[in-house]
Structure 1
Amino acid sequence: MKIHLLFPLILLIACSQAKEKQRLTQLEEEIRKLMNETEGDFALAFRSVDGEESELFFNEKETFHAASTMKTPVMVALFEQEAAGKFSLQDSILIRNSFKSILDGSTYQMDLGVDSQEALYKRIGENATLYELMYEMIVRSSNLATNILIEKVGAKNVTQLMRELGAEDIQVLRGVEDLKAYEAGLSNTTTALDMMLIMEAIAKHKVAGSKKMIDILSDQHFNDLIPKYLPKEVKIAHKTGAITGVQHDAAIVELPDGNRYVLVILSKNLTDEKAGKECIAKISQMIYNNIENL
């Protein structure tokens, strides 16, 4: 009698698994179609954080200019170095606009018209706490704050810390607007996989200050990529990045039921940045709408 009951149950599970696989395949096809319809190159890395682990990848190991997504690893390094007793994030530091190129040590300054947080330039010559600069670096993507902080923690130290988190390819070489280094091909780079691993480490509290970092990332000012089409009750802690032809977003997404996932979408060679941003926003919506099938 038990055997007779067990067979229909096995059949039901098999049918359910087949349907889930079919829905996942359909989702992958829809995402790939949208990517192909948008001029440019894309990469995606998705992984659930809570419950049964599920993953979805597209070109996850392809290298991209990191743009401002590299500011998240700098933040991780700041919290880790504070935990190691090297300084307090409440320590004061001088706001300055003079930095050295990693290529030849020559001095360069930030362009006021380029930085997304221009208000900080009004405070050059004053002091601010490391925490304040870190907050502006993430929430408003301040390039000036980034350069001050990356000199504080050391670019090589940031990259080494990312290696310890399992991110094997990301390279944090320098601050922002180091044109000599850029022209020599020395740029910060990442892959979607590495950025996913970094965000996952924060989500799982594997690094110092994870809760505080999630709070900071949740205050993000730029919300027209991964969050754009998601319901307001969904909590999103994320960091964007953009330069010419490049649009990125790396997020920890918390659903109303408390379950979370990490989603990273990178792009490059965009001929129409508006279309590229819309592609990223729609892919995020697709993932959210199909989360039960992932």
Structure 2
Amino acid sequence: MTSNRTARTGTASTGTSGTRAAGTRAARARIAAAFADAGVSGWLHARDLDTGADIALGADTLVSTASVHKLCLLVTLFREAAAGRIDLTRQLDIPAAGRTAGQTGLAAMLDAARLSLRDLAYLTAAVSDNAAADVLWDEVGLDAVNRTMAELGLTRTVAVHGFRDLIAALADDTGTDSPVDPAVVARLRVLDPTFTNRSTAREMTALLAALWSGEACPGEPGTALRRLLGLQVWPHRLAAGFPFDDVRVHGKTGTLPTLRHEVGVVEYPDGGRYALAVFTRAAATSITLPAADAAIGTAARLAVDALRVIANQV
């Protein structure tokens, strides 16, 4: 998938390079201030998909990905479809009993269902349905997801378990105690990237770049997956930074106690395309922290604004 922007070539002058470096430093400072104002630690990587220019803030820090790892699952599913090994239209019977817990999609429904793999993928992408995701995990396999990431050069992006096991670990560590008790949060293994599914902000934007270029999922399956990511319903994180009718936001969120993440691609009407990964951890343990959610959109917008300035200086 290529941009409509006209590529610019040439060698930048020393003065221009210095100006760009100063602009990048200023952008990083503003992003760090936005995270601090929201009471979160933040890790960010933003890359212009056409020029390769980037903005990084702790981008190589290993983090617990939570539901952001569903993107790795979906890329694997659609990559397998592109290779002819999976039929996305195949229907599965999904009983009501034994589903992975969650608050959306099949996880919250009460009756048996029959859905295709591609419709399960829609629920996984659009509403982050844990039950739908685990049906796909069972179909694709953990090893296949990790193999796909390795094939794409993402050596630090590792799946350890599906969501039923992640939720079970969370329940074991919480017990009957309050999930917002700081002492309880401090003992949650799912917040430790050495225990659970993990990646870095830089590797997540690399995955998005591979998806948007067609490398990860060639042909129609890649187009279909990009469409699904554009159907995500949550407007309070990445999309909050781009409240414009002519800017398209494709994303995948991830949430665990104190963790609020989103990765995605923002497309501007002039053809500009920017891959973004923003991971945050809040100091407060409250379940509802609107400022922390909004900081993801704010940081992403600051990064994209800086990348657009850089593009005009080339």
Matches within 5 A, 1:79-118: 79-96=78-95, 109-111=99-101, 114-117=102-105
Per-residue CA shift, 1:14-47, capped at 9, x if unaligned? 4443333322221121112222333332111111
1:37-68: CA deviation from partner (whole Å, max 9, x where unpaired): 33332111111111x32011111121222111
Asked if 1:163 is matched to 2:150, the reply is yes
Alpha carbon RMSD of aligned pairs, Å? 2.2
Larger radius of gyration: 1
C-alpha separation in 2, matches of 1:61 and 1:291: 19
Tell me the alpha carbon deviations over residues 139-182 of structure 1, each in whole angstroms, 9 at most, x when there is no partner: 11111101111010001210111111111111212221324455
TM-score normalised to structure 1 length: 0.84
Structure 1 gap segments, 5+ residues each: 1-11, 100-108
C-alpha change, 1:41 and 1:96, in structure 2 (3 Å) is farther
Aligned to 1:219: 231
- CA distance, structure 2, for counterparts of residue 164 and residue 181 of structure 1: 29
Verify the 8 A CA contact 1:150 1:174 in the aligned structure 2. no
Counterpart Cα distance in 2 of 1:171 and 1:68: 13
Q: CA deviation at 1:76?
A: 1.0
Letter in 2 for 1:207: A
- More moved, 229-238 vs 268-277: 268-277
Which whole-Å CA distance do the structure 2 matches of 1:131 and 1:120 have between them? 19
Asked if the contact 1:97/1:144 (under 8 Å) is kept, the reply is: no
- How far apart are the structure 2 equivalents of 1:133 and 1:219? 13
State percent identity of aligned pairs: 20
The answer on whether the counterparts of 2:238 and 2:296 sit within 8 Å (CA) in structure 1 is yes
Per the normalisation by structure 2, the TM-score is: 0.79
Q: What is aligned with 1:242?
A: 255
How many residue pairs get aligned? The number is 270
* Structure 2 counterpart of 1:266, one-letter code: F
* Residue 60 (structure 1) aligns with: 59
Is residue 153 from structure 1 mapped to residue 166 from structure 2 by the alignment?
Answer: no
Question: 1:237 and 1:154, CA in 2 relative to 1: closer, same or farther beyond 3 A?
Answer: same
Q: Post-superposition shift, 1:118?
A: 5.1
In the other structure, the counterpart of 2:3 is none
1:199 corresponds in structure 2 to 208
Q: For residue 130 of structure 2, what is the amino acid of its counterpart?
A: N
One-letter code aligned to 1:237: H
Tell me the secondary structure at the aligned position of residue 228 of structure 1: helix
Secondary structure of the 1:122 match is coil
Measure, in 2, the Cα distance between the counterparts of 1:284 and 1:218: 17
Partner deviation per Cα, 1:202-242 (whole Å, 9 max, x = no partner) = 11111222211111101111121111131221111111111
- Would the alpha carbon gap of residues 84 and 56 (structure 1) be closer, same or farther in structure 2, given more than 3 Å must change? same
Question: 1:17, 1:212 → 2: CA distance?
Answer: 38
Matches of 2:62 and 2:14, distance apart in 1 = 38
| Contact residue 156 and residue 173 of structure 1 kept, 8 A | no
CA distance in 2, matches of 1:137, 1:292: 31
- Residue correspondence of structure 1 range 1-294 to structure 2 within 5 A: 13-50=13-50, 52-96=51-95, 109-111=99-101, 114-117=102-105, 121-124=109-112, 126-178=113-165, 179-182=167-170, 183=172, 185=189, 186-208=195-217, 209-230=221-242, 231-271=244-284, 273-294=289-310
What amino acid sits opposite 1:144 in the alignment? A
Shift of 1:269: 4.0
281-290 vs 243-252, which deviates more? 281-290
